[in-house]
Amino acid sequence: MYPLKFHPILKERLWGGTKLKDVLGKSIESDITGESWELSTVKGDVSVVSNGNLAGTSLQELINSDPEGILGKSVTERFGKEFPILIKFIDAKQDLSIQLHPNDELAKKRHDSFGKTEMWYIMDADQDANLIVGFNKEVTKEEYSKSLDNDTLLDLMNYETVQEGDTFFINTGKIHAIGAGVLLAEIQQTSDVTYRVFDFNRKDKDGNLRELHTEMALDAIDYEMKDDFKVAYPKVKDTINTMVDCPYFKTNFLELTNDLDQNVSDRDSFTIYMCVGGKASISNEHGTAEIQKGETVLMPATSKKIGIQTSGAKLLEVTI
């Protein structure tokens, strides 16, 4: 089972722009493409292999035929034949709606879905571009509801100015929004459940306001003010730097100026590489895949050794 690349699943969004094309080199004609889903088994949006003799095969088909070979035994014991994470690149030309995601328990009860814990790695940001992450003070449910009624929710939001390399971990329940001018890599649980609570009163192409999920969000929001979202991580070159290690995924940062070889025979998980800078050749015992900034490769769990050949690359390495 060789390193697998997949066709990106491109999503037009009201807030999307052209950075996926202009910065990441995606083949896109639209000027409002907001998301490139790199690895997905979300129903209706399942990734399809683009390289090698498995080209044209869906990720779900591969998992169904050899779940332990693709995912790893420990992963299948937890998630069965479901791919547990969703990988995206996101380009926000305009502010995204202010939103949050329910936890596993609530998402299962209401939507028969996983919750949505996620992380962001900033790849490009316009000057003074920012994110909304959490509240700027302790807020009660009553205060929050009143701010919606009075159209003053923005007064309660915490704004974080960002630049390339900044990384954020977004717990379930944390209110958040990606601001205009931000291009980022997103790693999240496999879930498309989002509660939108404020959309700047924008209208879609048909002149309609987008649906809000005001009532559903009330019991899903974490109203505490917590400074737990900005990820401080080492950036030592030519080694593996841990960024996030949570129950749903582990992400490492690699800034390589030379080749790197890893023995991963005891990993018992697939490995994903998202290229967030430069380019590299990534190989296992059965083949090699070339990736450059804006591309992603999946290394099946059967990989015993992973070799990365590069003269300069920044990679996010994701495992379970």
Residues with catalytic function: 196
Spatial strand order in the sheet of 157-161: 157-161, 130-135, 176-178, 98-100, 195-198
Report how far residue 301's alpha carbon sits from residue 267's, in angstroms, rounded to the nearest whole number. Answer: 8
Tell me the two tokens of residue 151: 């159209």
Cβ–Cβ < 8 Å for 282, 288? yes
Degrees, nearest 5: CA angle 139-145-147: 80
Q: Where are the alpha helices (DSSP H) in 66-194?
A: 67-71, 73-79, 104-111, 141-149
Cβ–Cβ < 8 Å for 314, 277? yes
Tell me the two tokens of residue 144: 């929050």
DSSP 252-295: EEEEESS-EEEE-TT--S-EEEEEEEEEEEEEETTEEEEEETT-
Report how far residue 139's alpha carbon sits from residue 158's, in angstroms, rounded to the nearest whole number. Answer: 12
